[in-house]
Amino acid sequence: MKKVIILKIQQGWLKSTEHQVSPFFTTRIMPEIQTEKIRLLVIHNISLPAGEFGNDYITQLFLGKLDANSHESFSDIASLQVSAHCLIQRDGHIIQYVSFNDKAWHAGVSSFEGCHKCNDFSIGIELEGTDQLEYTSIQYQQLTKLTATLQRTYPLIKDNSIVGHCDIAPNRKTDPGESFNWAFFKKSLKDLKDKKIKNK
């Protein structure tokens, strides 16, 4: 199991974390950050092939390097131009693909509180998993740390603006699925922030 690291953000990138820079992003210049106000965190899941873990296919997809011949299910997705800001693998390892200050192409057709095009004002985090299979404890641990770090850096991301892909595209997406324990995650996030306040 890989070592759990302390998460820090510098100029939109996690420090001491693996970076695989995706070409699938839109530059979010500083005036846009101020006006669009990054205020939404979207949690997704992904596995390639479906239900299989521990390979490099997700990274290949987000880098535009997925070989359509590698698996029969890849023929329809190999040419997609998609990305997320980060992926949290089953062992807790985090890979960042797009700067948080830029727009990753993760949300698609979406809407949050009446505002469309959620990529414009959101950050997207992928969990390696499926709608049905339980996520690992270290994934929750890393997601909690990452979320708290993002909220410190982008304070408009409030607890009530942390949602699943299913919440912003309900007729199209189901992730992170019924297997994601929202109550446990929210309690873990609260406990972590309370602990930090007490230790100040």
pLDDT digits (tens, 9 = 90+) for 119-157: 999 999 999 999 999 999 999 999 999 999 999 999 999
Hey, what domains does the chain have and what are their CATH numbers? 9-198 (3.40.80.10)
- Mean per-residue pLDDT, 13-20: 96
d(CA 4, CA 122): 25
Query: Pick the catalytic residue: 18, 32, 113, 126?
Result: 126
CB 123 within 8 A of CB 42: yes
Q: Is 72 a catalytic residue?
A: no
Q: How many CA atoms lie within 13 A of 189 on its CB side?
A: 21
What per-residue confidence (pLDDT) applies to 28? 83
pLDDT confidence of residue 195: 85
What token pair was written down for 21? Answer: 């820079």
